[in-house]
């Protein structure tokens, strides 16, 4: 009788734990492999758990990945060094990925960060216009983007159009990052570009290559993140190169000359 009580208590403790694992981290076959067969080195299941864990980590990180950039803009009350064209192209890429993932019913852990990155990128786009003295354009930008987003996510938009949006991510990402890189090169500094946000985006896009292959098996998604990682890496290298350069120091240097 005592043994039955212990078993009941143990199982009641394990039920929520098992439910959590099965919901977010692994299928039941992997749960059995790990916790019934104690085969903790079973590679196929390790890949699944690693992919799920990375995916959830990326989503949680994405909630704050661009907050340093937003805070830096608001603190400086300036958007110097940031390209609005880059923001538009980045929004195209993010929205395309989100629409394509939803249409294909990919798990949220495979694309969820796109939702939070989209919201933060829209805020940055508005702030660039606002601090550039074009607040009315910023409001128009918000209205137009929300309208287009609703249209793209609605059943009215055919699947070939959504697939085309995802395919257009690669040129959009490349062109957007090249515009930002050229702006940094021309200015001789990275302006109000946040190093924290840049490095987090680079790390996140690298991790997404693995999770896309593992969770979606979609070549287009995986290749998009390969391109994104390469382009984010270029901006990250520029941040390191111009680490001690700033608009203020550049102005002081010109005055001294």
Closest CA to 113 of 245, 207, 227: 207
Contact 75, 242 (CB under 8 A): no
Q: How far apart are CA 125 and CA 24, in angstroms?
A: 33
Structural domains in the chain (count): 1
Is 239 part of a structural domain of the chain?
A: yes
Is 186 part of a structural domain of the chain?
A: yes
Measured distance between the N- and C-terminal CA atoms of the chain, rounded to whole angstroms: 90
pLDDT score at 130: 94
Is 64 part of a structural domain of the chain?
A: yes
Is 158 part of a structural domain of the chain?
A: yes
Instruction: Tell me the residue range of the domain where 169 lies.
Output: 44-244
pLDDT score at 253: 47
Q: 239-246 long-range CB contacts below 8 Å, 24 or more apart?
A: 239/190, 239/193, 239/195, 239/198, 239/199, 242/184, 242/188, 242/189, 242/190, 243/195, 245/188, 245/189, 245/190, 246/189
Is 237 part of a structural domain of the chain?
A: yes
Name the pTM for this structure: 0.68
CB atoms within 10 A of CB 197: 22
pLDDT digits (tens, 9 = 90+) for 64-109: 888 888 998 999 898 888 889 889 988 988 898 899 989 888 888 7
Is 17 part of a structural domain of the chain?
A: no
> Which is more confident, 83 or 61?
83
pLDDT score at 243: 84
Q: How far apart are CA 10 and CA 252, in angstroms?
A: 69
pLDDT digits (tens, 9 = 90+) for 4-41: 444 444 444 456 666 666 666 777 788 777 777 777 78
Mean pLDDT on 243-247: 69
């Amino acid at each position: 009788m005592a043994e039955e009580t212990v078993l009941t208590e143990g199982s009641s403790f394990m039920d929520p734990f098992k439910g959590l694992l099965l919901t977010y981290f692994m299928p039941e076959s992997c749960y059995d492999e790990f916790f019934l067969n104690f085969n903790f080195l079973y590679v196929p299941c390790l890949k699944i758990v690693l992919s799920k864990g990375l995916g959830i980590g990326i989503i949680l990180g994405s909630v704050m990945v661009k907050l340093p950039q937003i805070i830096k803009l608001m603190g400086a009350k300036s958007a110097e060094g940031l390209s609005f064209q880059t923001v538009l192209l980045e929004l195209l890429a993010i929205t395309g990925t989100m629409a394509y993932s939803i249409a294909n019913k990919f798990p949220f852990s495979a694309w969820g960060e796109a939702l939070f990155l989209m919201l933060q990128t829209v805020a940055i786009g508005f702030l660039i216009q606002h601090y550039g003295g074009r607040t009315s354009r910023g409001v128009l930008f918000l209205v137009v983007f929300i309208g287009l987003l609703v249209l793209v996510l609605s059943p009215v938009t055919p699947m070939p159009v959504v697939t085309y949006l995802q395919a257009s991510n690669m040129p959009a990402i490349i062109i957007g990052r090249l515009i930002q890189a050229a702006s940094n090169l021309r200015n001789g500094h990275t302006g109000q570009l946040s190093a924290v946000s840049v490095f987090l985006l680079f790390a996140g896009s690298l991790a997404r290559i693995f999770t896309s292959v593992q969770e979606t098996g979609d070549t287009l998604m995986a290749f998009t993140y390969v391109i994104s990682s390469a382009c984010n890496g270029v901006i990250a290298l520029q941040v390191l190169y111009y680490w001690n350069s700033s608009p203020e120091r550049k102005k002081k240097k010109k005055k001294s000359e």
